[in-house]
Structure 1
Amino acid sequence: MNTIKYIFLFIFVFQLNAQKSDFSTITFEKADRIALEYKNEKLTNLPELAYKLTSDLTTDVERFRAIFKWVCSNVANDYYLYSKNMRKRQRYKNDSVRLKDWNDEFKKVIFQKLRRNNRTICTGYAYLIKELANLANIDCEIVHGFAKTSTINIETLDVPNHSWNAVKLSGKWYLCDPTWASGIPDPESAQFEFQFNDGFFLSDPNIFAVNHFPVDEKWSLLNDDQPSFNTFLDAPIIYNKAYTYFSNHNAPKKLHTDIRKNEHVIFKLQLLKSVKKEDVNLLIDTTFTSKKIHPESISIKDQSLTIDYTFDTTGYYDVHLYVKDDLISTYTVEVNK
């Protein structure tokens, strides 16, 4: 019995820490080069594309990397399609028959756009990753759920609005988000800029959970540490660049903090790579002012970045954390007497 408990505990801990650093000895240079060699390849023959991307690679993680890199570098995020889908899903959310009819109809549109124009939304990205991975004999699943960005109104976040992937490599499940890894859509112009973000490839489940909430809780990969939906909604806003610097966001736990004058607010994040103290800044906005400051109390210890900041004036503040020129996270702080 003790042996069984030990094995279970080992598997639990082993799975909990599934992230890209498990493959620190692999550079992915060859996989990325192959993905680049087949740039602009058509989607008319997925088995052939999967073979071209993976046949010269020796490990599953490299094969999956080539697939992920290719998809994120060749398929554009269609913001117009996304916004149209969300409007319809909100409209029909209380009518299961019309919602199903819309979903069935829209799936055809998504895959037509994907195949013909290399444009899609999150569902198409997740589908393509899964299909190509499965063709390469790699277990991969589509995960449906909720996602938070700075533009999402959480008051209306009552139906799933995002899809991503879980992939099994070396006996462990990992998370990735090809939609957010691929680049940045402009909501106003509906134009898309390819800008690969490596942080969404085999992301640490801890930071992933700050702005991803799966419908099926097992895909959080956090086991008993799965946050509640309300905890997810209350969490701070983190941005895509956070994934390139950090593996977890520890504090504050909520977007909004109420404090009294001269009280401290602790900002704490777990580092993924080295950060210099002088590169860390806070942008503090009020209704009338905006100032960027370098906090005096910053510590970096045991791969953890901690900022201790005191608000000495009453008011309502928007606080934005930056590393260099990269926006990492946003909070609101109300300071009372």
Structure 2
Amino acid sequence: MKVFIRYTFLFIFVFQSNAQLADFKSIDFEKADAIALEYKDETLHNLPDLSSKLTSNLTTDAARFRAIFKWVCSNVANDYYLYSKNKRKRLRYKNDSLRLKDWNYRFNKIVFEKLLDDRKTICTGYAYLIKELANLAGIDCEIVHGFARTSTMNIKNLDVPNHSWNAVKLNGKWYLCDPTWASGIPNPSSAQFEFQFNDGFFLSDPHIFSVNHFPADEKWFLLEDAKPTFEAFLEAPIIYGQAYAHFNSHNAPQKLENTVRKNEAVIFKLQLQKNIQKEDVTLVVENTFHEYKVKPEMVSIENLSLTIGHKFTATGYYDVHLYIKKDLISSYSFEVKKATSK
């Protein structure tokens, strides 16, 4: 089966979400964003001074945190080389606790030095900086460690936490943010980084966030209803960033890899944020030999619930990508078997 490699960075970096931002619909974040832009040349050698410059002219914690988040995501580059080096070392020392502990200690110093001197880092550096700047502004903010999934990840190796993000308390309520994935696009082949800020990782809806984030401490799910199991997290379909501009939740299929019968109806269900046109829905189907675009056999929109039906008319292995207009929403794998004899 294909592993959706060419869609990986769309998954990580093109992300929109409005559910939690609706809590602050009366706040115009343009001033906070403008302040973040104004101080783009600041260094990290005096964090109290930087925090003050970013927040002193703003009147709400939400706006102050926005200025901090925007500045960090617009001025600190994601260092793919550093990320890759850490990944290799952690795998190498996975079964040697003493050498792993020593490497983690040395690597933390490397991360801090790169962040301070070059404004480059990985997820732990982003989360640390967000927390420090927010705390200096009197905002309660924590680092959350856990697991994160991307479309090219080998989940068999996902047995130790591999990502860090933030939780921030605003108006007595906790919210989730991921500054690493909000900052831009690293290129693995060139190790270059392109800044591309994405609002969706700012105050994200916890239901959406849990699709690709699994905190080591379950309290940071921030979910009032049932929390996903780790098995369900690993088996979930790939949900890309554009999904969060259109949907509040993804309901079916609940797994990335599925087995169906020839001519059996496959149902996709998602909850919309706002109505769309049925003709906006497209499926791109891939098999070993070719790729083709199809209009689903059935598209239903009722009470903002989108239901899509599709049938495979031949056996084989397929990757299916759901689009709304030009936005890639989600991907799935299907093994289609012969129809059951009557």
- Tell me the TM-score normalised to structure 1 length: 0.91
Asked if the contact 1:280–1:322 (Cα under 8 Å) also holds between the matched residues in 2, the reply is: yes
1:24-173 residue pairs with structure 2 within 5 A?
Answer: 24-173=25-174
RCO comparison, higher one (Cα < 8 Å, 6+): 2
Q: Distance in 1 between matches of 2:89 and 2:246?
A: 36
- Note the aligned Cα RMSD (angstroms): 1.6
Q: Alpha carbons of 1:186 and 1:330: their partners in 2 closer, same or farther (altered >3 Å)?
A: same
Deviation at 1:273, TM superposition (A): 4.8
Which letter maps to 2:62? V
Mapped partners of 1:234, 1:97: distance in 2: 32
Deviation by residue 1:94-143 (Cα, 9 ceiling, x = unmatched): 22221111111001111111111111000000001000110111110000
Structure 2 counterparts to residues 232-247 of structure 1, below 5 A: 232-247=233-248
Alignment partners' CA distance in 2, 1:27 and 1:181: 19
3-state SS of 1:61 partner: helix
Provide the C-alpha distance between the structure 2 equivalents of 1:119 and 1:274, rounded to a whole number of angstroms.
40
Aligned to 1:185: 186
Identify the residue that residue 303 of structure 1 maps to in structure 2. Answer: 304
1:40 is displaced (CA, Å) by 2.4
Greater mean deviation of Cα atoms: 70-79 or 85-94 = 85-94
Q: d(CA) in 2 for partners of 1:197 and 1:158?
A: 28
- Contact 2:297–2:311 under 8 Å retained in 1: no
Cα distance in 1, alignment partners of residues 42 and 242 from structure 2: 29
- Across the two proteins, how many residue pairs are aligned to each other? 321
Q: Which amino acid is 1:282 matched to?
A: L
- Deviating more after overlay: 78-87 vs 274-283: 274-283
Once residues 234 and 73 of structure 1 are traced to their aligned partners in structure 2, the CA distance between those partners, rounded to angstroms, is 33
Where in structure 1 are there 5+ consecutive unaligned residues? 1-16
Using the TM superposition, name which of 259-268 and 165-174 deviates more: 259-268
- 1:275–1:105 CA distance, 2 compared to 1 (3 A): farther
Which whole-Å CA distance do the structure 2 matches of 1:36 and 1:122 have between them? 22
Cα 1:272/1:40, change in 2 over 3 Å: farther
Contact kept? 1:210, 1:232, Cα under 8 Å: yes
Q: Do the aligned partners of residues 260 and 296 (structure 1) sit closer, same or farther apart at CA in structure 2, a change above 3 Å counting?
A: closer
Measure, in 2, the Cα distance between the counterparts of 1:257 and 1:149: 18
Q: In the superposition, relative to structure 1, how do residues 273 and 36 fare at CA in structure 2: closer, same or farther (>3 Å)?
A: farther
Q: Contact 2:73–2:179 at 8 Å: present in 1 too?
A: yes
